[in-house]
């Protein structure tokens, strides 16, 4: 399988159904168990809002088609879904693939796009780029897929630079918050970015260098922070990807995807240890 983009030819539903593993499924071999690889994750309200923000930023025309504002009001004149008519309309539109949002949620999601493009670094990365690029490629003998948020090649006459960019929503987009989220997702974020970069490099084998970035969006304010990804992070992510693929191949060969098998003892964290030490002092 050669790496290629299918942005115009394949819908997101077709991409999701394409029968090769993605980063989202392969990460379970690192962060969870092989059994989780086979387990389908249910979408949460926070995930759904993040998806809507992604679409508003990266695919505004699609967002306009798939989301609309609720106009139904209750007896007090408040816009909400409390009436039977509002609920029936919302459910009917959902069957047509359209999500109806209350004005506050719609405004929050829609405004995030303008805030992102008003940020000079985010605008420079996203303007003129391919959005939601679907890639199919081979790593260590395994056909995999990835969908990067933004991808473009810039030729300044001296070198061709491949810009790979991912968009993340999080509660706190300060430098501290971004670093905390990166460390909370220690294996996941480097592995995800390394997967996207690997696919993009195979799509563009003649590029001179790769520049990888993350656009962080604060959930409540939509304020933006843009962070470059150091090469050592991508190197660590590639290690995690290769280990995940090794474990995946072993499970496929045995046709066995075990769940939790660790025999490690339960651990008491530092905070609780201090509490027990305080209790122990009462016995002296």
pLDDT one-digit tens code per residue, 125-169: 999 999 999 999 999 999 999 999 999 999 988 889 999 999 999
Pairwise CA distance, residues 228 & 127, whole Å? 17
Q: Look at residue 6 and tell me whether its pLDDT is greater than 70.
A: no
Residue 284 confidence (pLDDT): 84
C-alpha dihedral (109, 110, 113, 115), degrees to nearest 10: -80
Across all residues in the chain, what is the average pLDDT? 90
How far is 73 from 79, CA to CA, in rounded Å?
4
Least confident span in 3-12, 211-220, 256-265: 3-12
Q: What is the tens place of the pLDDT at every residue in 81-108?
A: 888 888 999 999 999 999 999 898 899 8
pLDDT at 187 over 80: no
**pLDDT at 258 (0 to 100):** 94
Residue found under tokens 């530092």: 270
Least confident of 6-10, 171-175, 212-216, 239-243: 6-10
Whose structure tokens read 């995946």? Answer: 248
Report the pLDDT value the prediction gives residue 12, as an integer from 0 to 100: 80
Domains in the chain: ranges and CATH? 4-37+45-254 (3.90.320.10)
**Phi, psi of 69, rounded to the nearest 5 degrees:** -95, 135
């Amino acid at each position: 399988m050669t790496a290629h983009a299918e942005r115009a030819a394949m819908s997101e539903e077709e991409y999701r159904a394409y029968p090769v593993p993605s980063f989202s499924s392969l990460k379970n071999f690192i962060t969870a168990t092989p059994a989780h690889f086979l387990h389908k994750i249910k979408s949460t309200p926070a995930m759904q809002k993040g998806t809507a923000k992604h679409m508003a930023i990266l695919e505004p025309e699609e967002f306009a088609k798939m989301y609309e504002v609720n106009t139904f009001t209750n007896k007090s004149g408040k816009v909400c879904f409390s009436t039977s008519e509002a609920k029936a309309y919302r459910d009917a539109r959902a069957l047509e693939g359209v999500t109806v949002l209350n004005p506050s949620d719609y405004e929050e999601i829609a405004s995030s796009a303008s805030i992102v493009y008003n940020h000079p670094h985010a605008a420079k990365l996203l303007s003129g780029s391919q959005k939601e690029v679907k890639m199919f490629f081979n790593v260590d003998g395994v056909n995999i897929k990835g969908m990067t948020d933004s991808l473009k090649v810039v030729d300044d006459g001296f070198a061709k630079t491949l810009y790979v960019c991912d968009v993340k929503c999080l509660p706190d987009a300060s430098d501290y918050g971004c670093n905390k989220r990166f460390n909370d997702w220690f294996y996941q974020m480097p592995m995800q970015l390394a997967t996207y970069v690997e696919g993009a490099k195979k799509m563009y084998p003649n590029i001179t260098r790769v520049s990888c970035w993350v656009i962080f969006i604060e959930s409540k304010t939509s304020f933006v922070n843009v962070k470059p990804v150091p090469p050592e992070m991508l190197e660590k992510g590639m290690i995690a990807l290769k280990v995940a693929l090794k474990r995946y191949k072993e499970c496929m060969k045995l046709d066995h995807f075990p769940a939790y098998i660790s025999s490690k003892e339960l651990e008491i964290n530092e905070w609780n240890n201090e509490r027990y030490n305080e209790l122990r002092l009462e016995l002296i």
